Amino acid sequence: MENYKITTLNDFIILKQKDFSYAKGELSSLLHHIGTAAKMVNKKINKAGLVYIIGRSGDVNIQGENQQKLDVYADEVFINALLSSGECCGVATEENQNEIVFSETFASKGKYIVCIDPLDGSSNIDYNVSVGTIFSIYRRKMKNPTDHTHQDT
């Protein structure tokens, strides 16, 4: 049996950032905020049955799927985490029809756009099946923060 060292997300980010001399910590900060949001969602999932947050919310997402209560919660947590990071100027989520542009905040100067499914597989939670978060990070196209438009997303 091979000996594997378990590394946290934050340890991995810090370790790998050292490999890039030009890194200023912006992407690391963004990844840290995504990791924190994931921990918050995980905590809610673990006690979902106890706080009555399982089941349908009554809304439908852009894929035409019934939104689960946890979908709505996870979406809000990730959007708030991305906004508070200051590194993300906009986000596109599966739970929203249109992208969200952080135009009137300090985050409007952020260098990244995030596309995310905050809680993939949420319809399986009632059956105790694995769920996760799927995301991708893109560098914004417009260099001048005042030029930020929906075309960046």
The CATH number covering residue 80 comes to: 3.30.540.10
- 4 in any annotated domain: no
- 58 in any annotated domain: yes
**pLDDT tens digit string along 75-128?**
999 999 999 999 999 999 988 888 998 877 666 788 999 999 999 887 777 777
pLDDT at 143: 65
CA distances from 108 to 14, 65, 70, 117, 151 (A): 25, 31, 28, 22, 14
pLDDT at 127: 73
pLDDT at 130: 83
The answer, yes or no, to whether residue 144 has pLDDT greater than 90, is no
Torsion sign over Cα 115, 72, 119, 27? positive
**pLDDT tens digit string along 40-80?**
998 888 876 555 556 555 566 666 666 778 888 999 999 99
Helix/strand/coil percentages in the chain, nearest 5 = 40, 20, 35
User: Residue 153 — very low, low, confident or very high, per pLDDT cuts 50/70/90?
Assistant: very low
Structure tokens at 118: 């905050």
Q: The domain containing residue 80 runs over which residues?
A: 9-15+22-152
**pLDDT tens digit string along 20-29?**
888 788 999 9
- 75 in any annotated domain: yes
Domain count, the chain: 1
pLDDT at 109: 82
- 62 in any annotated domain: yes
**Displacement of CA 53 from its chain's centroid (Å):** 20
CA distance 119 to 73: 9
- 43 in any annotated domain: yes
Residue 135: name the closest of 97, 98, 88 by CA.
88
- 63 in any annotated domain: yes
Percent of the chain topping pLDDT 70 = 75
